[in-house]
Amino acid sequence: MSTASTVAELLQTVPGLDMMQLTASNPEVSIRGFNQRLSNKVLVLVDGRTVYMDFIGSTLWSALPLTLEDIERIEIIRGPGSAIYGANAFGGVINIITRAPGDVSQQNQVSVAGGSAGLARGSVNLAGRDDRLAWKTTAGVQQLGRWSQDADPSRVDVGSPYGDHPYSVQSATASAMLQWQLSEKGFVSVSGGVNDGLSEFYSLGALRLFGIDSTSTNARVDLGLGPLYVRSFYNRFGATAQSWYAPTSGEVLGGDILSQAWDTEAQFNESFGANNQHVLTAGVGFRLKTIDWVFLTPGVKVEPHVNGYIQQQSTFGPVTLNGAIRIDRHPLENVGTRPTARLSMVTRVGEGRVIRLNGGNAFRNPTFLESYTDLYLSTGVDGVLVNSMGSEVVRERTDANYRLEPEKIRSIELGFLDQSNDSFRFEVAAYGYQVLDLIDLGSVSAEDNQLEFDATKGAYIAGESRFENETPVFWAGGGEVEGAWFGVPGLDVRLNYSFERIVSVAEDGSSTPSNAHPTHKGHAVVAWRSPWDLDVSMTVSAYSAQSWPIRSYDAAGQVAVDLVDVDAYTIVSNKLVWHPFGYDDLDLSASAWNWLALLQGAHTEYPLGQPVGARLYGGVAYRF
């Protein structure tokens, strides 16, 4: 019953999760604050396989090789998850789980949808089983129109390599899986997928809006033999990325990207004790990443990673304890070996009621972009450039003692869950955390503040800007409350509210509130399956005002930071589904996403993002 057209929009009503749209194809997702362009603090998985883009530290949602119709469920960990999932599970984990091959509870399906704002979608999902052999295949296409043109097409001083291209994303995807059941507790599966298309994408600092023409592929093998589970997968991302707009008198900033990653993981699970009250899980993994990108220093960059972890879960009457510790080894000297740990206690306080207490730490590795960047960027002043450098470039050229520490977080959370009745579910959580060593581009440094002319660049160099750790320590606290009611057959009601406050504390002890996130968020979802083969839903999402620090350059080529406000906004969406032949095979639907924009105008979710408008569309789904 969702009106979502993308995976990220499916996540919009999750309490504690921030989803902001910069373009129709470029959402940024974070958990419990610290969202940004190139959001890099959430680890996104598809069936447990990481789709985190190591070279920029973000997720390119439009390049995921899956369709909405193939998703079975989405599991979310709010809070640090590095003790199990490793580096980069900083603010949380989002695991998108697709339908299992040969699932007899699911029918084959063909669906199409189209409407305003350039929306067009289509997908085919097929699956089957023959004794021990199960299979599935999925294919789909997606198109979303641009919310706005960032530059006037009539301007003669600004051009675009994409011309007046009206679409934010045009992509096609396909995937397949084959699974053989070896025994009751043994199986082997092979799977793979591909996504190809062009999409808009906002980058860091002065880079702004890019177009990425990419092909993303993956291949995977899974083997389960009783308590032992082994998987190996390969991710490849090849693309041409270039500025969507550029001065007609200058060069278009961009080039080719080839990012590859090979992963192998082995996990052992064993239960023991009376009634299997103890569960031991241990695992090891190896990940090899390579990147070849014109924005980085010349040559292919290679990073091997090794990890190992152990987790123990034990139940003593109404209390369950779970502890995990993990060691990650990073090849960069300044990162080295990093331990993470997590401890949780869940106490049953009645039938269907539990209290949980957990705490842990996590870290985020510097990305290839933050380590190896060697790029001359325009300051916005004609003939004046800034050399932007990664930490390893700085160490090599200027200061052998220069260090870029991983970002670090320590967190504690207390929660209560009540699902003692089939008619309702209630959950409340409160949390606090400390964040250190956030990575960002620093100020421009120049000797004697003199502009130096570089004949090879044909421009003056204002100085150097390097990625560095911020000195303030960030303290955050907040909570979420959610209730769901199912008291009337066919009627589902879900309400949730999230609050968060973040404060940065400088070295001198002074504190400054951070408002670069909505302090208050609320969602209401109502769905009714009527007795007349008609289903209707309404979703309301409300966000408080924000104030974002936006970097720019002054006339001398120096970094300037201005606070830019984003007004409070509300998104209201509705969907109507008709089942003309009952619930067996055919669905006809009409959706209105963010229809308030038709009455009061588009809203902006990020100061540099495009105004987000409405989508009105219809769809047909046929199951067989």
Residues contacting 4, CB < 8 A, separation 6+: 10, 12, 68, 593
Q: Does residue 496 lie within any of the structural domains?
A: yes
Q: Are 138 and 67 in contact (CB under 8 A)?
A: yes
Q: What is the CATH number of the domain that holds 261?
A: 2.40.170.20
Place of tokens 């057959």: 489
Residue 507, exposed/middle/buried by CB under 10 A (0-12, 13-18, 19+)?
exposed
Q: Does residue 185 lie within any of the structural domains?
A: yes
Return mean pLDDT, the chain: 91
Owning domain of residue 605: 7-623
State pLDDT tens for residues 158-202.
Answer: 888 888 899 999 999 999 999 999 998 899 999 999 999 999 988
Structure tokens at 121: 């979608």
State pLDDT tens for residues 308-342.
Answer: 999 999 999 999 999 999 999 999 888 899 999 99
**448 pLDDT higher than 60:** no
Place of tokens 């053989």: 180
Q: Does residue 467 lie within any of the structural domains?
A: yes
Q: Does residue 330 lie within any of the structural domains?
A: yes
Q: Does residue 414 lie within any of the structural domains?
A: yes
State the CB neighbour count (10 A cutoff) for residue 262: 15
Structure tokens at 565: 């406000």
The continuous run of DSSP H or E covering 488 comes out as none
Rounded Cα distance between 452 and 387, Å, is 12
Q: Does residue 2 lie within any of the structural domains?
A: no
Confidence of residue 402 (pLDDT cuts 50, 70, 90): confident
State pLDDT tens for residues 257-287.
Answer: 999 999 999 999 999 988 889 999 999 999 9
Paired strand residues for 316: 319
3-class secondary structure per residue, 561-612: EEEEEECCEEEEEEEEEECEEEECCEEEEEEEECCCHHHHCCECCCCCCCCE
Q: Are 515 and 547 in contact (CB under 8 A)?
A: yes
Question: What is the pLDDT at residue 418?
Answer: 97
Q: How many domains does the chain have?
A: 1
Let me know the angle formed at the C-alpha of 141 by 136 and 145, rounded to the nearest 5 degrees: 150
Helix, strand or coil, per DSSP, at residue 294: coil
Q: Does residue 309 lie within any of the structural domains?
A: yes
Q: Are 329 and 337 in contact (CB under 8 A)?
A: yes
Confidence of residue 38 (pLDDT cuts 50, 70, 90): confident
Radius of gyration of the chain from its Cα atoms, rounded to whole angstroms: 25
Question: What is the pLDDT at residue 309?
Answer: 95
Rounded Cα distance between 514 and 503, Å, is 6
Q: Does residue 584 lie within any of the structural domains?
A: yes
Phi, psi of 509 (to 5 degrees): 90, -10
Stated pTM of the model: 0.93
State pLDDT tens for residues 459-469.
Answer: 777 778 888 99
